[in-house]
Amino acid sequence: MTKKSPQDNSQPPSNGRRALLDFGPLLLFFGTNYLYQDLMLSVKILVLTTIISLGLSWSYERRIPAMAAFGCAALVFFAGLTLYFDDELFIKVKPTVLTLIFATAIAGGRCIGRNPLAALMGSNIKLDYEGWRKLSWLWVSMFISSAVANEIAWRNLSTDAWVTFKVFGLTGISLVFIVLTLPVIQKHQQQD
C-alpha cells in the first residue's frame, strides 16, 4: 500500500460521484428549462453548474478529464454566443459541432496512424491494436449519429422538446454505443 503525500488530497473517483459530476449540470439544465421555459436562464445554469462540476472534479480527483475540459470550453463559447446575440441557434448547434470535432479528430488520427482515443482513455483501458481500432470507429459512429440526430431534432422540435432530446436523447445514443463497446473491450482487453 502506497502512502499519500501530505499535498495529495485526491480521492479515487467513485462511479456515483463521476455520474453526478457528468450528468448533474445536464439535469439542472433540463429542470430549469422545464420549470421556467426559459432557454437563456437554462443556458446560464448549465454553464455555471458545468464550471462548478469541473472545479469539483479537480478538487476530488486532482484532474479534469480532457473531453470534459474541451466540452466545457465549447459550452462556454457557444453559450456566450447564445447569450450575447440572444439567439438559441448557437446552443442548439453546439452538440453537432462538438461531436463532429470529436469524430473528425478520432477518424483523422486513425487515418494517419495515430490513436487519439487511446491517448484520451489509455490510462483507464488497456486494449490491443485491433481493440483500439474497433473502439475508435465505434466512437466515430456514435459521434456522427449524435450529430445527425441533433441536427434533425433542433430543426424539427420546439425548443423545449429539443432540450429534452439533448438531455435524454443524446445521452441515450451514448448509452447504446457504450453497450456496443463492451464486447469489444472484453474481447481485446490486455492484462497488465
| pLDDT tens readout for residues 161-186 | 999 999 999 999 999 999 999 999 99
pLDDT reported for residue 6: 44
Measure the CA–CA gap between 14 and 17, rounded to whole angstroms. 5
CB atoms under 10 Å from CB of 53, counted, come to 21
pLDDT of 113 over the 80 cut = yes
Integer CA distances (angstroms), 179 to 26, 74, 128, 147, in order: 21, 27, 19, 19
| Per-residue pLDDT at 7 exceeds 60 | no
Give the CA radius of gyration of the chain: 18
Q: pLDDT band for 23, please (50, 70, 90 cuts).
A: very high
pLDDT in tens, 74-111: 999 999 999 999 999 999 999 999 999 999 999 999 99
Cα distance between residue 144 and residue 148, in whole Å: 6
Alpha-helical regions (H) of 37-128: 39-61, 66-85, 89-111, 116-121
Whether 190 has a pLDDT exceeding 80, the answer reads yes
pLDDT for residue 4 is more than 80: no
Q: What is the pLDDT of residues 40-87, one digit of tens each?
A: 999 999 999 999 999 998 998 888 888 889 999 999 999 999 999 999
The mean pLDDT value for 15-28 works out to 89
**What is the pTM (predicted TM-score) of this model?**
0.87
